[in-house]
Amino acid sequence: MIVDDEPLAADLLATYVGQVPYLALQHKCHLASDALSFLRDESVDLIFADINMPFINGMEFAKILPREQKVIFTTAYSGYAVESYSVSTIDYLLKPITFERFVQSVDKASRTVLRSSHAVVENISPDSFFVKSGKSMIQIQFRDLLYIEGLKDYVFFTTERERHIVYKRMKDLESMLPSTFIRVQNSFIVNTDHITRIEDNHVFVLNRQIAIGPKYREDFLKRIMTKML
C-alpha cells in the first residue's frame, strides 16, 4: 500500500511497484485516514508511508498500526530519519527516490515480510525466454536483447522498447545465455550483435556507454577479435 499526499510522488512509487514482479499494489491513497479505513477490512505485507502528511502524519499513522505491520517511510525531509526507527520500520527513503534505491529497499523488505515467490526467468530456449511481469508471462527474443544489468540479486533485461526486472543473480544467468552474450564487467552482460563501437575501454550499445572491467577485458577482446575482418 502507498500512502502519500503528493499525487506525483504516489504515482512514481506505484510505477516503481509495477516494475518489480513480486510486488502487487493493493491500495494507493493520499491520507492516513483513508489507509486506516482500507486496513479495517484488508491486510497488506508492506506500507510505503509519507511522513509529512496533513491531519495524521506518517509517524503517527505508523504508531497506530499493529506492531508487526512493516513500513517503509518516504519523505523529503532528512530530519525524520532518527525518529522513524522508533517504530517498526524497514527503511527510510529520502525523496526524490531513485528506482535503484527503491529496489534496494524492497529487497530488504522481501527478506523480512514478503511471502510471494520472486519472479524468475523461465522456459529458456535457444531463441527466447519468458519473464513474469505481474500476472503476465512476457517472451523476450535473445536477438532483441541489448544488454543485461545486474543489481544485487536482480537483473534488468533491456531491449530497444522495454525493460524488465527479475529475481536472478548474474552469475547464475550467465551460463544460460547464447554465445553472442559476453560479460564486460560485474554489473553488465552485453549482446555483441548490438555493439556499435568499442572505444577508450568502453563498449557502446546503441546510445548506452558501458565500461569494460579490468578482469573481463582480455576475454572480451579475444571474443571480439574472432569477429574482425
Report pLDDT for 7: 95
* Fold adopted by 2-110: Rossmann fold (3.40.50)
Report pLDDT for 26: 94
Pick 169 or 87 by higher pLDDT.
169
Q: Taking residues 217-226, what's their average pLDDT?
A: 92
Of the chain, the percentage scoring pLDDT greater than 70 comes to 87
pLDDT digits (tens, 9 = 90+) for 80-137: 554 555 566 888 899 999 999 999 899 888 776 544 334 455 556 788 988 876 567 7
C-alpha span between 86 and 78 (Å, rounded): 15
Entry pTM? 0.56
Other Cβ atoms within 10 Å of 163 Cβ, number: 12
Q: Could you give the 3-state DSSP secondary structure of residue 154?
A: strand
CATH 2.40.50.1020 region(s) of the chain?
121-225
Q: Are 153 and 107 in contact (CB under 8 A)?
A: yes
pLDDT digits (tens, 9 = 90+) for 62-71: 888 887 888 9
- Alpha-carbon radius of gyration of the chain: 21
Q: Taking residues 133-158, what's their average pLDDT?
A: 83
Confidence of residue 212 (pLDDT cuts 50, 70, 90): very high
Report pLDDT for 116: 38
Residue 117 phi, psi dihedral angles, 5° rounding: -70, 140
Report pLDDT for 94: 92
- Averaged pLDDT of the chain: 85
CATH 3.40.50.2300 region(s) of the chain?
2-110
Report pLDDT for 112: 66
- Residue found under cell 496533513: 54
Residue 112 phi, psi dihedral angles, 5° rounding: -105, -50
Q: Which of 139, 137, 141, 146 is nearest to 126 (CA)?
A: 141
For the domain bounded by 121-225, which CATH number is listed?
2.40.50.1020
Q: Which of 68, 158, 153 is nearest to 113 (CA)?
A: 68
C-alpha span between 113 and 56 (Å, rounded): 25
